[in-house]
Amino acid sequence: MKYNNPVIKGFYPDPSVCKVGDTYYLVCSSMQYFPGVPLFESKDLINWNQIGHCLTRESQIQLDKVNSSGGVFAPTIRNNNGRFYMTTTNDTTHQNFYVWTDDIYGEWSEPVYVDQGGIDPDLYFENGKTFFMGNGTDDQGIGGIVQCEIDIESGNKLTSSRSIWQGTGGRFLEAPHMYKINGKYYLLAAEGGTEFGHMAIYARGDSISGPFEEYLYNPVLTNRNLGGYEIQAVGHGDLIQDNNGNWWMIHLGFRQMGQWLTYHHLGREVFLTPVTFDEEGWFTAGHSGTTITCFETNRLSDDVVQKEKKSFTFENTEWDKDWCYLRLPHTHNYILEQNKLTLKGTEITMDQPDSPTFIGIRQKDFNAIISCDLSLMHGEAGITLYMDEHHHYDLAVRKDKNGYKVLERLNIGDIKSIENEMDLGSNNQATLIIRASHDRYNFHLYTDGKDIHLGSAQTKYLSSEVAGGFTGVIIGLYAYGQGSLAEFSKFKCEYL
């Protein structure tokens, strides 16, 4: 069969995967958004269904006023003796921790902290022992992939932290994962930074603590030399063996806007690439070491059909799975119903590293029509295309002493500009429409049977290459102003 990449679209970076029985489970980073660590399941590695989040309570994760692209970094999911573990880093507080559950559809535990620095932690279980690994500096001050043994019940270190591999010499050695395959220990990692030079590398050895022999043809997977190709920055992967014994790599990558538009604004996404072992136990990945948009493979049954959801509405999404908040929400300001959303604004704006009244869904593709009906009682409310507090585009309705106005506002770094506004008089209701393409957003007001074009803006100013950071555009619904009150209905995001 043929399948298309990415297999999970939109801002779902740093994927990690495990398999229990015939079911695969996957987690991703969530940075400053809450709930933390989206959790997916699949039967075929192609079609993924979000079943929840790992971090759903304030007691599990400190996100108050964390910096954008801070918060929850690269998680790892593993299962040991029937129990699921998810380990991650709060990069803002510099704490590594894990949570666990015996019910993948239920709540996860309170965090168990591990006194080892660095980021991108990994858990490996063997013969009743638990090894904790990440990238950082060991107890002797040596950098690299750092490992210690821990007590899984308490998180206490049972051995000192020791640097076991320094990689191949590329910058930003990160994302380590350990596997035992046919008696050998394989250490998969990433180098090059999670951008255009990203790459997956690996080594193997006879002991879990090394020494490790580097794969002669590293990097095993990278698109760094594919100039102009849509998929870039592949790396930060996790190996998984399917039910038929085939190996795959689940990894991140991003889609740049166009052949020569070297920007990305949808965030880092989830890709699937075949892995093949040779007779000597070394493996290769992808199409000549690259990830492509479409793989044709006999590893998947022709009965498997890759399905893609094209339309997202209030009615066909779930508030606690598909939607997210900026940092820890003030829940009394949200009334979430099956076909309607009511927001109460505060004096906290989207320009602050705080928690404004905001609930959003990830933009999953370039071409889309986003629309909703808005009824505003007081203050300001609307749709925002949000990258971070310094980079977002707003299509909003505002009430002032003269009545109501609709406005198009662009926030690009230190430049905050109302590009266009239009009086609505005493009419407090509006249909807001954003038409998205790979390189532009167009802002529209629909009123009195007329589609009024208010203006447009380039998507590249909401890209990571301009804004910085590790997230992607979130389609947010927001309200602002003390006493503001807004009702949203008929929300729809349709991908073309």
pLDDT digits (tens, 9 = 90+) for 27-65: 999 999 999 999 999 999 999 999 999 999 999 999 999
What is the span of the domain harbouring residue 275? 2-296
Looking at the structure, do residues 193 and 69 belong to the same domain, yes or no?
A: yes
Residues with a catalytic annotation lie at 14, 174
> 136: how many CB neighbours lie within 10 A of its CB?
22
115-135 pLDDT, tens digit each: 999 999 999 999 999 999 999
User: Is residue 374 scored above 90 in pLDDT?
Assistant: yes
Q: Give me the CATH number covering residue 175.
A: 2.115.10.20
**Spatial distance between the Cα atoms of 389 and 378, rounded to a whole number of angstroms:** 23
**What torsion do the CA atoms of 454, 468, 231, 441 make, to the nearest 10 degrees?**
0
Taking all residues of the chain, what is their mean pLDDT, rounded to a whole number?
97
pTM for the model stands at 0.97
Looking at the structure, do residues 347 and 277 belong to the same domain, yes or no?
A: no
Within a domain: 303: no
- Identify whether 219 is preceded by a cis peptide bond (ω within 30 of 0): yes
User: Is residue 411 scored above 90 in pLDDT?
Assistant: yes
Residue (of 357, 396, 405, 399) closest to 377 by Cα position:
399
DSSP state of 118: S
Looking at the structure, do residues 292 and 368 belong to the same domain, yes or no?
A: no
Looking at the structure, do residues 291 and 323 belong to the same domain, yes or no?
A: no
Share of the chain above pLDDT 70, in %: 100
Q: Determine what percent of the chain falls in helix, strand and coil, rounding each to the nearest 5.
A: 5, 55, 40
Looking at the structure, do residues 278 and 317 belong to the same domain, yes or no?
A: no
pLDDT band at 326 (very low <50, low <70, confident <90, very high): very high
- Identify whether 35 is preceded by a cis peptide bond (ω within 30 of 0): yes
Within a domain: 68: yes
Looking at the structure, do residues 244 and 387 belong to the same domain, yes or no?
A: no
288-318 pLDDT, tens digit each: 999 999 999 999 988 999 999 999 999 999 9
**Spatial distance between the Cα atoms of 282 and 235, rounded to a whole number of angstroms:** 18
Looking at the structure, do residues 318 and 290 belong to the same domain, yes or no?
A: no
Looking at the structure, do residues 324 and 284 belong to the same domain, yes or no?
A: no
Domain count, the chain: 2
Task: Please name the residues in contact with 454: beta carbons below 8 A apart, sequence gap of 6 or more.
Answer: 395, 406, 408, 419, 420, 422, 443, 444, 445
167-198 pLDDT, tens digit each: 999 999 999 999 999 999 999 999 999 999 99
- Alpha carbon separation from 135 to 39, 93, 153, 212, 254 (Å, rounded): 23, 16, 23, 16, 23
User: Is residue 241 scored above 90 in pLDDT?
Assistant: yes
pLDDT band at 459 (very low <50, low <70, confident <90, very high): very high
Strand 213-214 and strand 450-458: the pairing is: unpaired
User: Is residue 448 scored above 90 in pLDDT?
Assistant: no
Within a domain: 361: yes
